[in-house]
Chain A
């Protein structure tokens, strides 16, 4: 009996698999519909309350259970709602972005209603049609400059990126510009991490040619390569004297723990945008929109600063707004994020020694 069906069964299985892997692009799962695409906040709040929960993906450096409960409480107090925030600490933004793209390609709901990741990952979401359109400025008072991807999301805070150094090994005055990294005395003492998009961002004001020349000289310094958290840890330990780029998240964390780490005072300061916006096709689109908008409020900004030390350069009077005052900083544009950032970052990564 088995003999009759076995070859056919195997052929069927293989056929299904091959079809599955080479299948055509399915349209993203239809959104169950946010109540507001720029409309009434009250209507949105009611619809969100009916949904009763929201699945949030957020950077694990802030998403402790305790912090999520504080966020939930503040969120519900603000809008008079009873909405549970189910949080997933972000592990790998790239593969998790790919995960939701794959899910929606297969006609399924994304695993999360809202992903608070970076502008680069939002560019991927935008390219794959996973962002909607909301009037963040009108509904929630978000700064106009903070809105990206045609209203698909907005940046509620940023990471400032500069070189950082271990003050036991390097004087603050020794690194005053990006070019100071090229001083031969730092050969073999610099760490470069896998976040090569930092160099891609630098190329926005500098242009590709100047950045390429800079990266080639930096590569000649034989920097130590490593993943981002390890590079930060090696800087704390003093195994490397300078991290060629480090985010304010890691610098803040190191300083909070008492490590001798400071950010270099260089220009331009690079910005990585922390973004908020609902995913199209999510199970709870209204609650996701409301939570994303909530991040623009003073209450949420304070909570986020408390956990990460980060604020928004676009919010007048905020810590970062003051720290970049009078300085050149690199604000991202939709076009650059969706276009050249990928290819340039990959190119600079290869020049530095990453494969």
Chain B
């Protein structure tokens, strides 16, 4: 009997091997790792496996390094990598230069008119990036730019003083387009900060500026690092601005090479070559993930949400109110007005025209009347399903990934975090083509090929990186004592997640959900590759129109969609603010 009892209840570490003990202790972590490995690892492995084959997936048995030879022995590769680095770094710097002050001003101070900026920021996310880029060309093209024409007329210049056609111009346009994304990622971290820390700094004699640099920014460092890492990878993989602005001046970046590989003038796409370039992106992604993990692992240092209650207070700007408004106005002019006005400009003209008196005479509403001719109800229905389910999948997964990565001593948390970041390091076209192929051959088990659900899955995987970075930043701010106290009171770990952690990070969850929803609305690369007659969404429709020279129709439809979104966002802003407020650690 006693022997039987001993067998049933073995002494820890006596009979079980160490790794089995670890699995028992971290079963949930391993389960999450298994899910993420399948979801991310499947398209990732398939995408990388493509790089070892010539031709389309499934068409060749022969393993070959030809794609790597073509990609890496290209004599222009180093120059292109230099362009890519300059563009990505510049983009991140521009985005952070605007986003960090904006998030502080809009969330931590008594700046007036915050709701308007917030709603307009959401609206700009709906402007197709290629149209926004055209807006910048209309302003700063050496040949037709309005700013150049004005400068020449006013100052008697013979040469145009501005040009958008350089890496700095590309970084400015792309960086401004990424400000809303950075804002959403940083918002939760800034909102959750205990104002007592800043007040203590002020009481001890530091001025406001010093307080920002010595207290506020260091506390937000994990969130800022997450934004830097994520946005750097986003900039490496983005295609629109480099194509519209860069090609014109023969400036190519890594994403241009991926584009040319999968969009040859004739013949079939070379996904293998794109995969070979993708390996470079994955290597960069792993490096960045390592850097980020080093920042994020020291969670106690950044924990500002503790068991001690605190009341949120807004810092009074006082005499800094006007410079602050000036800064927000500068962003509103560059980041909001240019893309929104270029969309409106395209919508109200019969053809592409540079701003002029002649163009103003031709303003028309005719493009709006044409909308029913080229859009049926199906893309609207599919888009609605997509923007509801894709963020739900991505955020649901991100919550558990971040919880395991940040809150548990899970031995493979570095691997889990890196895997969750990888979808951003792999070109979306590769994820989509790998998913399409896997869905095709395993159609009998998972019949999602050609349906809206394959796009939802692709977006859910692709935006896991964004969701997990955002939620990592929020989790880091929660002190371990909160969960521990719950567990002392008898809660299981999952109960602590549901009853303590989730309510405290609800603001970040909502932010991530909202932003991923907007990203899903805008995502076109994967949706184009995965589409069929049944699963068309608005982004693919807009892209098809643009690709056939119908920029006016794109503008008109874009204006209508933004109008609807602004009305919804404005109506929901009160509820949104309340939801965010209740989740700010109080």
Interface residues of A (CB under 8 A from B): 2-3, 6, 9-10, 13-14, 17-18, 20-26, 55, 59-61, 63-67, 86-92, 94-95, 97-99, 101-103, 105-106, 108, 111-112, 120-121, 123-124, 194-197, 200, 224-230, 232-234, 236-240, 249-250, 253-254, 257-259, 341-342, 345-346, 349, 353-355
Residue of B31, B46, B352, B354 with most partner-chain A CB within 10 A = B352
Contact between B266 and A22, CB atoms less than 8 A apart = no
**Chain A residues within 8 Å of B352, by CB:** 233, 236-237, 259
**Chain A residues within 8 Å of B262, by CB:** 94-95
Contact between A22 and B351, CB atoms less than 8 A apart = no
Q: Is B2 part of the binding interface, using a Cβ–Cβ cutoff of 8 Å?
A: no
Selected contact of A196 from candidates B265, B434, B450, CB within 8 Å: B265
Contact between A3 and B58, CB atoms less than 8 A apart = no
Interface flags, B228-267, vs A, CB<8A=1, else 0: 0000000000000001100111101000110010111111
**Chain A residues within 8 Å of B438, by CB:** 17, 20
Task: Name the CB-closest residue of A to B249.
Answer: A224
Given the interface contacts A55-B533, A88-B533, does A97 sit within 8 Å of B252 by beta carbon?
Answer: no
Q: Is B545 part of the binding interface, using a Cβ–Cβ cutoff of 8 Å?
A: yes
Q: Is B143 part of the binding interface, using a Cβ–Cβ cutoff of 8 Å?
A: yes
**Chain A residues within 8 Å of B249, by CB:** 224
A237 to B358, CA, bound (A): 13
The dominant DSSP class at the B interface is helix
Contact between B247 and A13, CB atoms less than 8 A apart = no
Contact between A98 and B531, CB atoms less than 8 A apart = no
Contact between B31 and A2, CB atoms less than 8 A apart = yes
Q: Is B23 part of the binding interface, using a Cβ–Cβ cutoff of 8 Å?
A: yes
Given the interface contacts A22-B61, A238-B143, does A342 sit within 8 Å of B267 by beta carbon?
Answer: yes
Segment of B192-200, B310-318, B369-377 in the binding face: B369-377
Q: How far is the CB of B402 from chain A (nearest CB, A)?
A: 21
A24 to B20, CA, bound (A): 39
Contact between A226 and B247, CB atoms less than 8 A apart = yes
**Chain B residues within 8 Å of A225, by CB:** 247-248, 250
Contact between A195 and B373, CB atoms less than 8 A apart = no
Residue of B56, B267, B441 with most partner-chain A CB within 10 A = B267
Could you jot down 18 A-B contacts, CB within 8 Å? Answer: A6-B30, A20-B46, A22-B58, A25-B59, A26-B58, A88-B536, A91-B547, A94-B268, A98-B269, A101-B268, A102-B437, A105-B59, A111-B450, A111-B532, A124-B268, A225-B250, A228-B547, A236-B352
Contact between B436 and A99, CB atoms less than 8 A apart = yes
Contact between A65 and B374, CB atoms less than 8 A apart = yes
A174 to B469, CA, bound (A): 57
Q: Is B34 part of the binding interface, using a Cβ–Cβ cutoff of 8 Å?
A: yes
Task: Name the CB-closest residue of B to A24.
Answer: B61
**Chain A residues within 8 Å of B19, by CB:** 3
Contact between A239 and B141, CB atoms less than 8 A apart = yes
Interface residues of B (CB under 8 A from A): 19-20, 23-24, 27, 30-31, 34, 37-38, 41-42, 45-46, 49-50, 52-53, 56-61, 63, 74, 76, 80, 130, 134, 137-138, 141, 143-144, 243-244, 247-250, 252, 256-257, 260, 262-269, 350-354, 362, 372-376, 433-434, 436-438, 440-443, 449-450, 528-529, 531-533, 536, 540-541, 543-552
A90 to B550, CA, bound (A): 13
Given the interface contacts A26-B58, A86-B533, does A120 sit within 8 Å of B351 by beta carbon?
Answer: no
The dominant DSSP class at the A interface is helix
4 extra interface residue pairs, beta carbon distance < 8 Å, beyond A226-B243, A238-B143 = A20-B57, A60-B550, A88-B536, A98-B268
Contact between B436 and A102, CB atoms less than 8 A apart = yes
A111 to B529, CA, bound (A): 12
**Chain B residues within 8 Å of A3, by CB:** 19-20, 23-24, 30
A225 to B50, CA, bound (A): 29
Contact between A65 and B376, CB atoms less than 8 A apart = yes
Contact between A89 and B269, CB atoms less than 8 A apart = no
Task: Name the CB-closest residue of B to A201.
Answer: B266
Contact between A2 and B350, CB atoms less than 8 A apart = no
**Chain B residues within 8 Å of A10, by CB:** 34, 37, 41
Selected contact of A355 from candidates B60, B76, B269, B540, CB within 8 Å: B76
A66 to B263, CA, bound (A): 30
Contact between A197 and B543, CB atoms less than 8 A apart = no
**Chain B residues within 8 Å of A123, by CB:** 266
Q: How far is the CB of A342 from chain B (nearest CB, A)?
A: 4
**Chain B residues within 8 Å of A226, by CB:** 243-244, 247-248
A254 to B50, CA, bound (A): 41
Contact between A91 and B543, CB atoms less than 8 A apart = yes
**Chain A residues within 8 Å of B550, by CB:** 60-61, 253
Given the interface contacts A98-B56, A355-B252, does A88 sit within 8 Å of B376 by beta carbon?
Answer: no
Contact between A229 and B549, CB atoms less than 8 A apart = yes
Task: Name the CB-closest residue of B to A61.
Answer: B548
Contact between A61 and B265, CB atoms less than 8 A apart = no
Q: How far is the CB of B279 from chain A (nearest CB, A)?
A: 14
**Chain B residues within 8 Å of A67, by CB:** 373
Contact between B440 and A103, CB atoms less than 8 A apart = yes
Contact between A23 and B441, CB atoms less than 8 A apart = yes
Q: How far is the CB of B442 from chain A (nearest CB, A)?
A: 8
Task: Name the CB-closest residue of B to A260.
Answer: B351
Selected contact of A17 from candidates B34, B42, B546, CB within 8 Å: B42
A229 to B549, CA, bound (A): 5
Contact between B544 and A89, CB atoms less than 8 A apart = yes
**Chain B residues within 8 Å of A86, by CB:** 533
A275 to B303, CA, bound (A): 64
A248 to B44, CA, bound (A): 42
**Chain A residues within 8 Å of B257, by CB:** 355
Contact between B443 and A14, CB atoms less than 8 A apart = no
Selected contact of B441 from candidates A20, A239, A345, CB within 8 Å: A20
Contact between B58 and A21, CB atoms less than 8 A apart = yes
Contact between B531 and A88, CB atoms less than 8 A apart = yes
**Chain A residues within 8 Å of B353, by CB:** 236-237
